[in-house]
Structure 1
Amino acid sequence: MSRTKPTITPDQLILLDRYRIDEYTHFEPEEGAVFFHITADDRIYRGVSSTDETEITTQECASLLLRIHDRFVYPPVHKQTKLTLLPVQDKHDRFSDSTSFYIKRPRYMAYDERRTTVHPNFLTRSMLQEICALERISQNPHPFIAKYHGCRVRRGRITGIVLDRAEITLEDAVDDPRFEDLHANRFFEGVTSAVMYLHCLGLAHNDLNPSNIMISKDGGPVLIDFDSCLPFGHPLDKFGVAGWTDMDPEDYKTPNTSERRHDMYAMGKLIRWLLKRFPGDN
Protein backbone atom coordinates (compact mmCIF):
# COMPACT_ATOMS: atom_id res chain seq x y z
CA MET A 1 0.00 0.00 0.00
CA SER A 2 1.16 3.54 -0.79
CA ARG A 3 2.28 5.72 2.14
CA THR A 4 0.98 9.03 0.75
CA LYS A 5 -1.44 10.59 3.28
CA PRO A 6 -4.67 12.33 2.22
CA THR A 7 -6.22 15.26 4.09
CA ILE A 8 -9.53 14.22 5.66
CA THR A 9 -12.39 15.46 7.81
CA PRO A 10 -14.44 13.27 10.19
CA ASP A 11 -17.36 12.90 7.75
CA GLN A 12 -14.98 11.48 5.11
CA LEU A 13 -14.05 8.44 7.19
CA ILE A 14 -15.78 5.09 6.80
CA LEU A 15 -15.36 3.18 10.05
CA LEU A 16 -15.80 -0.59 9.88
CA ASP A 17 -17.15 -2.24 13.01
CA ARG A 18 -14.46 -4.73 14.01
CA TYR A 19 -17.12 -7.34 14.76
CA ARG A 20 -18.13 -7.23 11.10
CA ILE A 21 -14.62 -7.49 9.69
CA ASP A 22 -14.69 -11.27 9.44
CA GLU A 23 -17.99 -10.99 7.54
CA TYR A 24 -16.09 -9.20 4.77
CA THR A 25 -12.67 -10.83 4.91
CA HIS A 26 -13.31 -14.31 6.33
CA PHE A 27 -10.35 -13.71 8.65
CA GLU A 28 -10.30 -13.19 12.39
CA PRO A 29 -11.22 -9.59 13.27
CA GLU A 30 -8.35 -7.25 13.98
CA GLU A 31 -8.40 -5.64 17.40
CA GLY A 32 -9.27 -1.96 17.48
CA ALA A 33 -10.51 0.03 14.50
CA VAL A 34 -10.40 -0.50 10.74
CA PHE A 35 -11.31 2.51 8.61
CA PHE A 36 -11.36 3.68 5.00
CA HIS A 37 -11.25 6.91 3.05
CA ILE A 38 -12.05 7.44 -0.64
CA THR A 39 -10.80 10.55 -2.41
CA ALA A 40 -12.71 12.51 -5.06
CA ASP A 41 -10.68 10.77 -7.77
CA ASP A 42 -11.49 7.28 -6.43
CA ARG A 43 -8.25 6.51 -4.60
CA ILE A 44 -8.97 4.20 -1.66
CA TYR A 45 -7.12 4.37 1.66
CA ARG A 46 -7.25 1.92 4.56
CA GLY A 47 -6.05 2.22 8.13
CA VAL A 48 -5.86 -0.05 11.17
CA SER A 49 -5.50 1.12 14.76
CA SER A 50 -5.26 -0.67 18.09
CA THR A 51 -7.44 2.09 19.54
CA ASP A 52 -11.09 1.17 20.00
CA GLU A 53 -13.33 2.56 17.24
CA THR A 54 -15.30 4.59 19.81
CA GLU A 55 -12.16 6.42 20.98
CA ILE A 56 -10.05 6.94 17.88
CA THR A 57 -9.60 10.52 16.64
CA THR A 58 -9.70 11.80 13.07
CA GLN A 59 -6.08 12.93 13.41
CA GLU A 60 -4.98 9.43 14.40
CA CYS A 61 -6.95 7.91 11.54
CA ALA A 62 -5.36 10.28 9.03
CA SER A 63 -1.86 9.42 10.22
CA LEU A 64 -2.51 5.68 9.78
CA LEU A 65 -4.14 5.70 6.35
CA LEU A 66 -2.31 3.83 3.61
CA ARG A 67 -3.42 3.79 0.01
CA ILE A 68 -4.59 0.49 -1.44
CA HIS A 69 -3.05 0.09 -4.87
CA ASP A 70 -5.59 0.31 -7.69
CA ARG A 71 -4.63 -3.12 -8.99
CA PHE A 72 -6.11 -4.79 -5.89
CA VAL A 73 -9.54 -3.13 -6.11
CA TYR A 74 -10.18 -1.84 -9.64
CA PRO A 75 -10.18 -4.12 -12.69
CA PRO A 76 -8.22 -2.89 -15.72
CA VAL A 77 -9.97 -1.92 -18.94
CA HIS A 78 -9.09 -4.36 -21.71
CA LYS A 79 -9.68 -3.24 -25.29
CA GLN A 80 -10.88 -6.69 -26.31
CA THR A 81 -13.63 -6.67 -23.67
CA LYS A 82 -16.84 -5.02 -24.87
CA LEU A 83 -18.13 -2.96 -21.95
CA THR A 84 -20.12 0.26 -21.63
CA LEU A 85 -17.39 2.64 -20.49
CA LEU A 86 -18.02 6.07 -18.97
CA PRO A 87 -14.71 7.96 -18.65
CA VAL A 88 -15.10 10.50 -15.85
CA GLN A 89 -15.59 14.08 -17.04
CA ASP A 90 -14.97 16.07 -13.87
CA LYS A 91 -16.54 19.32 -15.09
CA HIS A 92 -19.59 17.85 -16.80
CA ASP A 93 -20.15 14.47 -15.18
CA ARG A 94 -23.91 13.96 -14.98
CA PHE A 95 -23.44 10.63 -13.23
CA SER A 96 -22.06 12.43 -10.18
CA ASP A 97 -25.64 13.44 -9.35
CA SER A 98 -26.17 11.28 -6.27
CA THR A 99 -29.91 11.99 -6.21
CA SER A 100 -30.43 10.22 -9.55
CA PHE A 101 -27.54 7.77 -9.79
CA TYR A 102 -25.79 5.33 -7.52
CA ILE A 103 -22.14 4.52 -8.13
CA LYS A 104 -21.32 1.08 -6.82
CA ARG A 105 -17.68 0.60 -5.90
CA PRO A 106 -15.83 -2.69 -5.45
CA ARG A 107 -16.23 -4.36 -2.05
CA TYR A 108 -13.18 -2.54 -0.73
CA MET A 109 -14.12 -3.31 2.89
CA ALA A 110 -13.21 -6.92 2.09
CA TYR A 111 -9.63 -5.86 1.34
CA ASP A 112 -7.12 -7.56 3.60
CA GLU A 113 -3.40 -7.87 2.93
CA ARG A 114 -3.54 -11.47 4.13
CA ARG A 115 -6.08 -12.26 1.43
CA THR A 116 -4.31 -10.44 -1.40
CA THR A 117 -1.20 -12.57 -0.92
CA VAL A 118 -3.33 -15.65 -1.72
CA HIS A 119 -6.03 -14.23 -4.01
CA PRO A 120 -4.76 -10.88 -5.37
CA ASN A 121 -7.60 -10.63 -7.92
CA PHE A 122 -10.47 -11.41 -5.55
CA LEU A 123 -12.03 -7.92 -5.55
CA THR A 124 -11.39 -7.11 -9.21
CA ARG A 125 -12.82 -10.46 -10.30
CA SER A 126 -15.94 -9.94 -8.19
CA MET A 127 -16.52 -6.51 -9.74
CA LEU A 128 -16.03 -7.83 -13.27
CA GLN A 129 -18.52 -10.62 -12.61
CA GLU A 130 -21.15 -8.07 -11.69
CA ILE A 131 -20.39 -5.90 -14.72
CA CYS A 132 -20.63 -8.88 -17.08
CA ALA A 133 -24.01 -9.85 -15.62
CA LEU A 134 -25.31 -6.28 -15.90
CA GLU A 135 -24.03 -5.89 -19.46
CA ARG A 136 -25.93 -9.01 -20.46
CA ILE A 137 -29.11 -7.99 -18.64
CA SER A 138 -28.99 -4.47 -20.09
CA GLN A 139 -29.26 -5.80 -23.65
CA ASN A 140 -32.95 -6.36 -22.87
CA PRO A 141 -33.60 -4.47 -19.61
CA HIS A 142 -36.14 -5.79 -17.12
CA PRO A 143 -38.38 -3.29 -15.28
CA PHE A 144 -37.65 -4.84 -11.88
CA ILE A 145 -33.87 -5.03 -12.23
CA ALA A 146 -31.64 -2.03 -11.45
CA LYS A 147 -30.99 0.06 -14.56
CA TYR A 148 -27.33 -0.10 -15.56
CA HIS A 149 -25.66 2.81 -17.37
CA GLY A 150 -22.07 1.60 -17.58
CA CYS A 151 -18.69 1.71 -15.83
CA ARG A 152 -16.81 4.76 -14.60
CA VAL A 153 -13.18 4.74 -15.70
CA ARG A 154 -10.15 6.46 -14.14
CA ARG A 155 -6.47 5.76 -14.65
CA GLY A 156 -7.30 2.99 -17.11
CA ARG A 157 -9.33 1.06 -14.54
CA ILE A 158 -13.01 0.58 -13.72
CA THR A 159 -13.68 2.43 -10.47
CA GLY A 160 -17.46 2.20 -10.26
CA ILE A 161 -20.67 0.81 -11.72
CA VAL A 162 -23.32 3.44 -12.52
CA LEU A 163 -26.91 2.48 -11.69
CA ASP A 164 -30.18 4.34 -11.23
CA ARG A 165 -30.74 5.20 -7.59
CA ALA A 166 -33.72 3.49 -5.97
CA GLU A 167 -35.71 4.64 -2.95
CA ILE A 168 -34.87 2.25 -0.08
CA THR A 169 -34.00 -1.38 0.57
CA LEU A 170 -36.82 -3.77 1.36
CA GLU A 171 -35.07 -4.53 4.65
CA ASP A 172 -35.11 -0.86 5.71
CA ALA A 173 -38.66 -0.30 4.49
CA VAL A 174 -39.97 -2.47 7.33
CA ASP A 175 -39.46 0.43 9.76
CA ASP A 176 -40.56 3.16 7.36
CA PRO A 177 -44.23 4.21 7.69
CA ARG A 178 -44.31 5.24 4.02
CA PHE A 179 -44.37 1.57 3.05
CA GLU A 180 -46.79 0.15 5.59
CA ASP A 181 -49.36 -0.41 2.80
CA LEU A 182 -46.96 -2.33 0.57
CA HIS A 183 -48.77 -5.37 -0.88
CA ALA A 184 -46.65 -8.44 -0.26
CA ASN A 185 -48.04 -10.69 -2.99
CA ARG A 186 -47.91 -8.02 -5.69
CA PHE A 187 -44.36 -7.08 -4.69
CA PHE A 188 -43.32 -10.73 -4.65
CA GLU A 189 -44.71 -11.22 -8.16
CA GLY A 190 -42.38 -8.48 -9.37
CA VAL A 191 -39.36 -10.07 -7.70
CA THR A 192 -40.33 -13.45 -9.15
CA SER A 193 -40.55 -11.92 -12.62
CA ALA A 194 -37.01 -10.50 -12.27
CA VAL A 195 -35.56 -13.77 -11.00
CA MET A 196 -37.26 -15.83 -13.72
CA TYR A 197 -35.84 -13.43 -16.29
CA LEU A 198 -32.34 -14.09 -14.97
CA HIS A 199 -32.97 -17.83 -15.15
CA CYS A 200 -34.10 -17.48 -18.77
CA LEU A 201 -30.70 -15.94 -19.48
CA GLY A 202 -29.02 -18.92 -17.83
CA LEU A 203 -28.04 -16.85 -14.78
CA ALA A 204 -28.71 -17.30 -11.07
CA HIS A 205 -28.59 -14.37 -8.67
CA ASN A 206 -27.34 -16.53 -5.75
CA ASP A 207 -27.71 -13.81 -3.10
CA LEU A 208 -31.40 -12.96 -2.80
CA ASN A 209 -32.39 -11.35 0.50
CA PRO A 210 -34.25 -8.19 1.63
CA SER A 211 -31.08 -6.06 1.58
CA ASN A 212 -30.55 -6.86 -2.12
CA ILE A 213 -34.05 -5.83 -3.16
CA MET A 214 -34.93 -2.16 -3.26
CA ILE A 215 -38.21 -0.31 -3.64
CA SER A 216 -38.63 2.14 -6.50
CA LYS A 217 -40.40 5.48 -6.27
CA ASP A 218 -43.59 3.88 -7.60
CA GLY A 219 -43.45 1.09 -5.02
CA GLY A 220 -42.19 -1.72 -7.24
CA PRO A 221 -39.21 -4.02 -6.55
CA VAL A 222 -35.72 -3.34 -7.88
CA LEU A 223 -33.33 -6.29 -7.81
CA ILE A 224 -29.72 -5.24 -7.08
CA ASP A 225 -26.28 -6.66 -6.20
CA PHE A 226 -25.12 -8.90 -9.02
CA ASP A 227 -21.56 -9.72 -7.93
CA SER A 228 -22.66 -13.34 -7.35
CA CYS A 229 -24.85 -13.47 -10.48
CA LEU A 230 -23.24 -16.09 -12.69
CA PRO A 231 -24.17 -18.67 -15.33
CA PHE A 232 -25.46 -21.95 -13.92
CA GLY A 233 -22.62 -24.21 -12.82
CA HIS A 234 -19.95 -21.52 -12.44
CA PRO A 235 -18.00 -21.50 -9.14
CA LEU A 236 -19.06 -18.95 -6.52
CA ASP A 237 -16.75 -16.72 -4.46
CA LYS A 238 -19.55 -15.65 -2.10
CA PHE A 239 -21.96 -17.81 -0.17
CA GLY A 240 -24.99 -15.64 0.44
CA VAL A 241 -26.41 -14.37 3.73
CA ALA A 242 -27.04 -16.73 6.63
CA GLY A 243 -30.71 -17.62 6.82
CA TRP A 244 -31.30 -16.78 3.16
CA THR A 245 -29.27 -19.43 1.41
CA ASP A 246 -29.18 -23.20 1.18
CA MET A 247 -25.38 -22.88 1.21
CA ASP A 248 -23.41 -22.65 4.45
CA PRO A 249 -21.99 -19.09 4.72
CA GLU A 250 -19.58 -20.32 7.41
CA ASP A 251 -18.12 -23.07 5.21
CA TYR A 252 -15.55 -21.28 3.08
CA LYS A 253 -13.76 -24.45 2.00
CA THR A 254 -16.56 -26.41 0.34
CA PRO A 255 -16.88 -25.30 -3.30
CA ASN A 256 -20.30 -24.03 -4.39
CA THR A 257 -21.62 -23.24 -7.83
CA SER A 258 -24.21 -20.89 -9.27
CA GLU A 259 -27.52 -22.74 -9.30
CA ARG A 260 -31.21 -22.03 -9.87
CA ARG A 261 -32.02 -23.80 -6.58
CA HIS A 262 -30.20 -21.14 -4.52
CA ASP A 263 -32.67 -18.54 -5.81
CA MET A 264 -35.71 -20.78 -5.36
CA TYR A 265 -34.74 -21.43 -1.73
CA ALA A 266 -34.44 -17.70 -1.06
CA MET A 267 -37.74 -16.99 -2.84
CA GLY A 268 -39.53 -19.41 -0.55
CA LYS A 269 -38.12 -17.55 2.44
CA LEU A 270 -38.93 -14.17 0.92
CA ILE A 271 -42.68 -14.65 0.46
CA ARG A 272 -43.04 -15.73 4.09
CA TRP A 273 -40.91 -12.79 5.21
CA LEU A 274 -43.03 -10.35 3.18
CA LEU A 275 -46.39 -11.66 4.36
CA LYS A 276 -45.29 -11.45 7.97
CA ARG A 277 -44.07 -7.84 7.75
CA PHE A 278 -46.38 -6.37 5.10
CA PRO A 279 -49.78 -7.99 5.66
CA GLY A 280 -51.60 -5.67 3.25
CA ASP A 281 -52.78 -8.62 1.14
CA ASN A 282 -54.11 -10.63 4.07
Structure 2
Amino acid sequence: MMSDAKDGSTEGLVRSFKSLHSLSEFFIAEPGEERLSHLTFTYVDEDDNAFFGSATCAKRDPTLRLVNDSLKRIPDEDIFSIPPEDTTLADVTSRNGYYLKRPNLSNYGRLKGLNIIPKILLDEIQVLELLKKNPHPNLVYYLGSVIKRGRIIGFALTKYLQTIEARLRKDPASFDTIGAIKGIESAVEHLHSLGLAYNDLNPANIMVDNHDHVVIIDLGSCRPFGQKLISGGTRGWVEQNLDTSEKENDKIALRKIRAWAEGMIGSVEQDDQE
Protein backbone atom coordinates (compact mmCIF):
# COMPACT_ATOMS: atom_id res chain seq x y z
CA MET A 1 0.00 0.00 0.00
CA MET A 2 1.33 3.43 -0.92
CA SER A 3 2.15 5.81 1.90
CA ASP A 4 1.94 9.58 1.83
CA ALA A 5 5.45 9.81 3.23
CA LYS A 6 6.96 6.94 1.27
CA ASP A 7 9.94 9.02 0.15
CA GLY A 8 9.81 11.78 2.72
CA SER A 9 8.70 14.32 0.10
CA THR A 10 6.92 17.36 1.48
CA GLU A 11 7.20 19.68 -1.52
CA GLY A 12 5.06 19.89 -4.63
CA LEU A 13 1.42 19.97 -5.58
CA VAL A 14 0.45 16.52 -4.36
CA ARG A 15 0.75 15.75 -0.63
CA SER A 16 -1.27 12.52 -0.73
CA PHE A 17 -2.00 9.88 -3.36
CA LYS A 18 -5.66 10.16 -2.34
CA SER A 19 -5.75 13.72 -3.67
CA LEU A 20 -4.95 12.63 -7.24
CA HIS A 21 -7.73 13.07 -9.76
CA SER A 22 -6.79 9.79 -11.46
CA LEU A 23 -4.14 7.07 -11.33
CA SER A 24 -4.34 4.69 -14.29
CA GLU A 25 -2.32 1.80 -15.70
CA PHE A 26 -2.10 1.22 -19.46
CA PHE A 27 -1.24 -2.10 -21.07
CA ILE A 28 -0.02 -3.36 -24.43
CA ALA A 29 -1.70 -6.46 -25.83
CA GLU A 30 0.77 -9.18 -26.75
CA PRO A 31 0.17 -12.80 -27.84
CA GLY A 32 -1.25 -14.62 -24.86
CA GLU A 33 -0.85 -11.76 -22.39
CA GLU A 34 -0.99 -8.05 -21.64
CA ARG A 35 2.17 -6.16 -20.76
CA LEU A 36 2.22 -3.01 -18.64
CA SER A 37 3.05 0.00 -20.81
CA HIS A 38 2.95 2.97 -18.46
CA LEU A 39 1.15 4.74 -15.64
CA THR A 40 -0.57 8.10 -15.85
CA PHE A 41 -1.63 10.37 -13.00
CA THR A 42 -3.59 13.60 -12.96
CA TYR A 43 -4.28 16.27 -10.38
CA VAL A 44 -6.70 19.21 -10.16
CA ASP A 45 -5.96 22.04 -7.71
CA GLU A 46 -8.37 24.29 -5.79
CA ASP A 47 -8.47 26.75 -8.71
CA ASP A 48 -9.43 23.98 -11.15
CA ASN A 49 -6.05 23.97 -12.88
CA ALA A 50 -5.35 20.48 -14.22
CA PHE A 51 -2.01 18.66 -14.28
CA PHE A 52 -0.83 15.49 -16.05
CA GLY A 53 2.14 13.19 -15.59
CA SER A 54 3.26 9.68 -16.58
CA ALA A 55 5.86 7.10 -15.62
CA THR A 56 6.95 3.63 -16.74
CA CYS A 57 5.96 1.81 -13.57
CA ALA A 58 2.99 0.09 -11.94
CA LYS A 59 0.46 1.66 -9.57
CA ARG A 60 2.20 0.27 -6.51
CA ASP A 61 5.61 1.77 -7.38
CA PRO A 62 5.48 5.57 -7.76
CA THR A 63 6.60 7.92 -5.00
CA LEU A 64 5.21 11.33 -4.26
CA ARG A 65 8.49 12.83 -5.47
CA LEU A 66 8.16 11.06 -8.83
CA VAL A 67 4.55 12.19 -9.19
CA ASN A 68 5.29 15.82 -8.36
CA ASP A 69 8.36 15.94 -10.59
CA SER A 70 6.34 14.53 -13.52
CA LEU A 71 3.20 16.65 -13.26
CA LYS A 72 2.86 19.45 -15.82
CA ARG A 73 0.04 21.98 -16.14
CA ILE A 74 -2.47 21.18 -18.90
CA PRO A 75 -3.49 24.23 -20.99
CA ASP A 76 -7.18 24.98 -20.43
CA GLU A 77 -7.92 24.89 -24.17
CA ASP A 78 -6.73 21.27 -24.37
CA ILE A 79 -9.43 19.95 -22.03
CA PHE A 80 -12.07 22.61 -21.31
CA SER A 81 -14.75 23.67 -23.80
CA ILE A 82 -15.97 27.19 -24.49
CA PRO A 83 -19.64 27.14 -23.38
CA PRO A 84 -22.32 27.52 -26.06
CA GLU A 85 -24.65 30.48 -25.51
CA ASP A 86 -27.55 28.31 -24.32
CA THR A 87 -25.53 26.38 -21.70
CA THR A 88 -27.28 26.03 -18.34
CA LEU A 89 -25.09 27.44 -15.58
CA ALA A 90 -24.99 25.50 -12.33
CA ASP A 91 -26.49 27.50 -9.46
CA VAL A 92 -24.07 26.24 -6.82
CA THR A 93 -22.23 28.18 -4.14
CA SER A 94 -20.01 25.37 -2.84
CA ARG A 95 -18.69 22.00 -3.93
CA ASN A 96 -20.80 20.15 -1.36
CA GLY A 97 -24.03 18.33 -2.09
CA TYR A 98 -23.46 17.52 -5.74
CA TYR A 99 -21.07 15.61 -7.96
CA LEU A 100 -18.82 17.65 -10.24
CA LYS A 101 -17.94 15.62 -13.32
CA ARG A 102 -14.72 16.78 -14.95
CA PRO A 103 -13.10 15.77 -18.25
CA ASN A 104 -11.42 12.37 -18.26
CA LEU A 105 -7.73 13.29 -18.12
CA SER A 106 -6.10 9.85 -17.89
CA ASN A 107 -5.64 9.64 -21.69
CA TYR A 108 -4.39 13.20 -22.07
CA GLY A 109 -0.87 12.07 -23.03
CA ARG A 110 -2.03 10.49 -26.29
CA LEU A 111 -4.99 12.79 -26.98
CA LYS A 112 -3.43 16.21 -26.43
CA GLY A 113 -3.79 18.53 -29.37
CA LEU A 114 -6.62 16.51 -30.95
CA ASN A 115 -9.53 18.42 -29.31
CA ILE A 116 -11.10 15.09 -28.34
CA ILE A 117 -11.28 15.61 -24.56
CA PRO A 118 -13.23 18.91 -24.70
CA LYS A 119 -15.47 17.44 -27.43
CA ILE A 120 -16.38 14.42 -25.29
CA LEU A 121 -17.26 16.75 -22.41
CA LEU A 122 -19.35 19.04 -24.60
CA ASP A 123 -21.16 16.12 -26.28
CA GLU A 124 -22.27 14.82 -22.88
CA ILE A 125 -23.41 18.28 -21.83
CA GLN A 126 -25.53 18.57 -24.98
CA VAL A 127 -27.25 15.28 -24.11
CA LEU A 128 -27.84 16.49 -20.55
CA GLU A 129 -29.24 19.80 -21.80
CA LEU A 130 -31.74 17.84 -23.92
CA LEU A 131 -32.70 15.70 -20.94
CA LYS A 132 -33.14 18.78 -18.77
CA LYS A 133 -35.93 19.78 -21.17
CA ASN A 134 -37.19 16.18 -21.37
CA PRO A 135 -36.53 14.70 -17.91
CA HIS A 136 -37.05 11.15 -16.70
CA PRO A 137 -37.09 10.07 -13.03
CA ASN A 138 -34.60 7.26 -13.65
CA LEU A 139 -32.00 9.41 -15.40
CA VAL A 140 -29.45 11.51 -13.50
CA TYR A 141 -30.47 15.13 -12.90
CA TYR A 142 -28.22 17.78 -14.47
CA LEU A 143 -27.80 20.96 -12.43
CA GLY A 144 -25.78 22.81 -15.05
CA SER A 145 -22.23 23.50 -16.15
CA VAL A 146 -19.53 25.15 -14.04
CA ILE A 147 -17.64 27.93 -15.83
CA LYS A 148 -14.19 29.20 -14.92
CA ARG A 149 -11.75 31.32 -16.93
CA GLY A 150 -14.37 31.45 -19.69
CA ARG A 151 -14.51 27.66 -20.14
CA ILE A 152 -16.53 24.70 -18.87
CA ILE A 153 -14.40 22.97 -16.25
CA GLY A 154 -17.09 20.39 -15.51
CA PHE A 155 -20.79 20.00 -14.82
CA ALA A 156 -22.83 19.42 -11.69
CA LEU A 157 -25.04 16.37 -11.17
CA THR A 158 -27.12 15.04 -8.31
CA LYS A 159 -24.90 12.92 -6.06
CA TYR A 160 -25.71 9.30 -5.18
CA LEU A 161 -23.87 7.23 -2.60
CA GLN A 162 -24.06 3.63 -3.82
CA THR A 163 -24.32 1.54 -6.97
CA ILE A 164 -27.05 -1.00 -7.54
CA GLU A 165 -24.45 -3.74 -7.01
CA ALA A 166 -23.49 -2.37 -3.59
CA ARG A 167 -27.18 -2.13 -2.65
CA LEU A 168 -27.91 -5.70 -3.71
CA ARG A 169 -24.92 -7.04 -1.80
CA LYS A 170 -26.00 -5.17 1.32
CA ASP A 171 -29.59 -6.42 1.62
CA PRO A 172 -31.09 -8.01 -1.52
CA ALA A 173 -34.20 -9.34 0.24
CA SER A 174 -35.57 -5.83 0.87
CA PHE A 175 -34.78 -4.50 -2.61
CA ASP A 176 -37.46 -4.34 -5.32
CA THR A 177 -35.34 -5.77 -8.12
CA ILE A 178 -38.26 -6.15 -10.53
CA GLY A 179 -39.26 -2.53 -10.01
CA ALA A 180 -35.65 -1.42 -10.43
CA ILE A 181 -35.30 -3.25 -13.75
CA LYS A 182 -38.55 -1.69 -14.95
CA GLY A 183 -37.18 1.76 -14.05
CA ILE A 184 -33.94 1.10 -15.94
CA GLU A 185 -35.87 -0.15 -18.98
CA SER A 186 -38.15 2.89 -18.84
CA ALA A 187 -35.15 5.24 -18.78
CA VAL A 188 -33.57 3.53 -21.77
CA GLU A 189 -36.88 3.65 -23.68
CA HIS A 190 -37.07 7.37 -22.91
CA LEU A 191 -33.60 7.91 -24.38
CA HIS A 192 -34.63 5.95 -27.47
CA SER A 193 -37.74 8.11 -27.87
CA LEU A 194 -35.38 11.11 -28.08
CA GLY A 195 -33.27 9.42 -30.74
CA LEU A 196 -30.47 8.52 -28.33
CA ALA A 197 -28.79 5.25 -27.34
CA TYR A 198 -26.99 4.94 -24.00
CA ASN A 199 -24.28 2.53 -25.23
CA ASP A 200 -22.65 1.71 -21.86
CA LEU A 201 -25.26 0.18 -19.59
CA ASN A 202 -23.71 -1.78 -16.71
CA PRO A 203 -24.14 -1.95 -12.89
CA ALA A 204 -21.40 0.63 -12.27
CA ASN A 205 -23.52 3.23 -14.08
CA ILE A 206 -26.70 2.52 -12.12
CA MET A 207 -27.02 4.21 -8.72
CA VAL A 208 -29.54 3.82 -5.90
CA ASP A 209 -30.69 6.63 -3.61
CA ASN A 210 -31.76 6.40 0.04
CA HIS A 211 -35.28 5.44 -1.03
CA ASP A 212 -34.11 2.58 -3.29
CA HIS A 213 -34.89 4.60 -6.39
CA VAL A 214 -32.59 3.62 -9.28
CA VAL A 215 -30.95 6.26 -11.47
CA ILE A 216 -28.76 5.81 -14.55
CA ILE A 217 -25.72 8.08 -14.48
CA ASP A 218 -22.70 8.75 -16.75
CA LEU A 219 -24.04 9.64 -20.18
CA GLY A 220 -20.54 9.99 -21.63
CA SER A 221 -21.29 7.42 -24.36
CA CYS A 222 -24.92 8.44 -24.96
CA ARG A 223 -25.23 9.66 -28.54
CA PRO A 224 -27.81 10.02 -31.36
CA PHE A 225 -28.53 6.85 -33.34
CA GLY A 226 -25.91 6.13 -35.97
CA GLN A 227 -23.30 8.54 -34.60
CA LYS A 228 -19.76 7.22 -34.43
CA LEU A 229 -18.63 6.50 -30.87
CA ILE A 230 -15.33 7.72 -29.49
CA SER A 231 -15.84 5.38 -26.56
CA GLY A 232 -18.65 3.02 -25.69
CA GLY A 233 -19.37 -0.22 -23.90
CA THR A 234 -17.71 -1.92 -20.96
CA ARG A 235 -16.05 -5.32 -21.22
CA GLY A 236 -18.46 -8.03 -20.13
CA TRP A 237 -21.54 -5.95 -20.89
CA VAL A 238 -21.24 -5.85 -24.68
CA GLU A 239 -20.90 -8.62 -27.25
CA GLN A 240 -18.50 -6.76 -29.53
CA ASN A 241 -16.63 -3.48 -29.82
CA LEU A 242 -19.12 -0.64 -30.28
CA ASP A 243 -18.43 1.61 -33.26
CA THR A 244 -21.74 3.44 -33.57
CA SER A 245 -24.61 4.43 -31.30
CA GLU A 246 -27.43 1.90 -31.77
CA LYS A 247 -30.58 0.74 -29.98
CA GLU A 248 -29.30 -2.82 -30.18
CA ASN A 249 -26.36 -1.92 -27.92
CA ASP A 250 -28.83 -1.10 -25.15
CA LYS A 251 -31.05 -4.12 -25.78
CA ILE A 252 -28.08 -6.46 -25.36
CA ALA A 253 -26.98 -4.67 -22.18
CA LEU A 254 -30.49 -4.77 -20.72
CA ARG A 255 -30.64 -8.54 -21.18
CA LYS A 256 -27.30 -8.85 -19.39
CA ILE A 257 -28.47 -6.54 -16.57
CA ARG A 258 -31.60 -8.66 -16.01
CA ALA A 259 -29.58 -11.88 -15.91
CA TRP A 260 -26.97 -10.29 -13.62
CA ALA A 261 -29.60 -9.04 -11.14
CA GLU A 262 -31.31 -12.44 -11.04
CA GLY A 263 -27.93 -14.08 -10.49
CA MET A 264 -27.06 -11.69 -7.65
CA ILE A 265 -30.30 -12.53 -5.81
CA GLY A 266 -29.96 -16.24 -6.52
CA SER A 267 -26.39 -16.42 -5.21
CA VAL A 268 -27.33 -14.63 -1.99
CA GLU A 269 -30.36 -16.93 -1.44
CA GLN A 270 -28.09 -19.94 -1.95
CA ASP A 271 -25.59 -18.58 0.59
CA ASP A 272 -28.41 -18.10 3.10
CA GLN A 273 -29.55 -21.71 2.67
CA GLU A 274 -26.03 -22.99 3.21
- Residue 109 (structure 1) aligns with: 106
- Equivalent position SS for 1:45: strand
Deviation at 1:107, TM superposition (A): 1.1
d(CA) in 2 for partners of 1:273, 1:143? 23
Aligned pairs for 1:238-277 within 5 A: 238-248=231-241, 256-277=243-264
Partners of 1:182 and 1:278 within 8 A in 2: no
- Equivalent position SS for 2:144: strand
RMSD: 2.6
Aligned pairs for 1:40-55 within 5 A: 40-55=46-61
Deviation at 1:94, TM superposition (A): 3.0
Aligned pairs for 1:72-87 within 5 A: 72-79=78-85, 82-86=86-90
Partners of 2:141 and 2:158 within 8 A in 1: yes
Per-residue Cα deviation, 1:23-63 (whole angstroms, up to 9, x for no partner) = xxxxx8533x4211111121111112345432322123112
* 1:13 counterpart (7, 20, 32): 20
d(CA) in 2 for partners of 1:21, 1:229? 28
Aligned pairs for 1:206-245 within 5 A: 206-245=199-238
d(CA) in 1 for partners of 2:215, 2:13? 37
Partners of 1:205 and 1:263 within 8 A in 2: yes
Count of matched residue pairs: 253
Amino acid in the other structure paired with 1:184: T
Partners of 1:15 and 1:53 within 8 A in 2: no
Partners of 2:138 and 2:183 within 8 A in 1: yes
d(CA) in 2 for partners of 1:78, 1:29? 40
Are 2:181 and 1:184 aligned?
A: no
Deviation at 1:183, TM superposition (A): 2.5
Identity %: 31
TM-score (norm 2): 0.83
Deviation at 1:232, TM superposition (A): 1.1
Deviation at 1:74, TM superposition (A): 1.0
d(CA) in 2 for partners of 1:66, 1:45? 5
Partners of 2:36 and 2:58 within 8 A in 1: no
d(CA) in 2 for partners of 1:192, 1:135? 21
